[in-house]
Structure 1
């Protein structure tokens, strides 16, 4: 079942060995703070160089969309950059846009034949998305996707703090230690 294909890990996503890690990017794709800055710093200049090529080709990345680059110096093979919505009280389709981030990242992983993917908590930092609602959307979207697709074989939610760990443990009781 799809639950056995989901893992939960507390730690630093830049240290996760997976076919792809997901970057909670901004629309410029040129790095920033939080997870985005950490991935660019740890991965090195090759990630930014590829992001610049994408920007030159398509002008950045829209909210809810996803693009893929090399992972540079990271343990992962690829970085999937997705742009989460900035929380505005839920009045600007933020929940659906966040679900698109997860779906489009999973579709991109599937398209590239990737077996493992790791997600951070998209939009819950400076973008202000409520953590509980974001976790619910993430888990629901991933479970629905896995129920209908063979790839990726394994999805890992990588949480950085105790608050998010407890939220995901509650939503994923079948995998919590």
Structure 2
């Protein structure tokens, strides 16, 4: 008998509004390590992309290296954001990362290590850039990089489960929803 959990998960994703990780929302912290640590957890776009990247990397050769590349390139994107540079089309690009990582997971795509690193690295620059713009403090950067690493690790643990592939389609659909916002 199939469990209805995937339907509830999908409904929750589709019901999620715009990313609340971004400043300007009531109760959004403005800086510091704690604010940085909470930041990736409070926006569905960042949360899903990091978990999906972790799930996908767990199923790739050199998967640990892919996760490390993601965190390192996220730091590069954050530094650029803190310096005042914003990637053009940033919000749409972030939504696209959710869609693509969901498809990678759902379709069980395998890429050569260099291609996986280039793909996840480019995604990480977008996420890091958004974080660096929104929380441009060094303490915040330490926080969101630490939480991002933990989310990638959690995704890698989920990626070892036999049914992890089925998380990809709802994540991709959520990415489509984010693109439509």
Q: TM-score range by the shorter chain?
A: under 0.3
Give 1 or 2: higher strand fraction.
Answer: 1
The TM-score normalised by the length of structure 1 is 0.25
